[in-house]
Amino acid sequence: VLESVGTVVRLGLAAVWLVAGAGKVADPGTFAVSVKAYQVFPDEMASLVAAIVPLLEMALGLLLLFGVGTRLVGVLSGLLLVVYIAGIVQAWARGLSIDCGCFSRGGQVAPGQTQYPLDLLRDTGFLVLAAWLTIRPRTRVSVDGWLAGRQQAALAAADDRGSSEAESAVGSNEQ
């Protein structure tokens, strides 16, 4: 049952990354504006970050979709989300009025229009998904699962061979 839940979690987080990344790739200018609005990077850096992040998100999404290295990708997703949360918190703390730009749009908004608590709640929710995959990376229909299955089969075969080989090796040593 936990594996099924894990599968839903994995595909859910994959969808989040793919949608978020694709939206930004389709509208690069807007995302560059959002990154700048956080006022964390100098302008040149902000453009570069704005070009890299969407592709990174899509890469994480693809890896999760196929279930490749789920635990590692879970950890990396979590790290990226922590960075996002830190970015939103610092914007809030500094009194910037920006839209988080999490799913494109973004940039500066009217002071009354920020929704930091909502943004943070959502990102924390995603973080929970990432944590789940880090703790329980085993899921159905994944490359990881397929590899593990193959490995088990290979090991089962090797077990017989292995023990007889080992036995004969030990045996020959004794002579």
Bridge partners, 102 (sequence order): 104
**Binding of another protein by 63 (CB under 8 A):** yes
Closer residue to another protein in complex, CB, 99/123:
99
**Binding of another protein by 58 (CB under 8 A):** yes
Q: To the nearest whole angstrom, how small is the minimum distance from the Cβ of residue 1 to another protein?
A: 25
Place of tokens 């973080």: 127
DSSP codes joined into one string, 34-47: HHHHTT-S-HHHHH
DSSP codes joined into one string, 48-62: HHHHHHHHHHHHHHH
Binders of another protein in range 68-127 (CB under 8 A): 68-69, 72-73, 76, 107-110, 112-113
Residue-wise burial string across 80-109, b where 16 or more C-beta atoms lie within 10 A, e elsewhere: bbeebbebbeebbeeebebbbbbebebeee
**Which residues make up the interface to another protein (CB under 8 A)?**
28-33, 36, 43-44, 46-48, 50-56, 58-60, 62-63, 68-69, 72-73, 76, 107-110, 112-113, 143-144, 147, 151, 154-155, 158-159, 162-163, 165-167, 169-171, 174
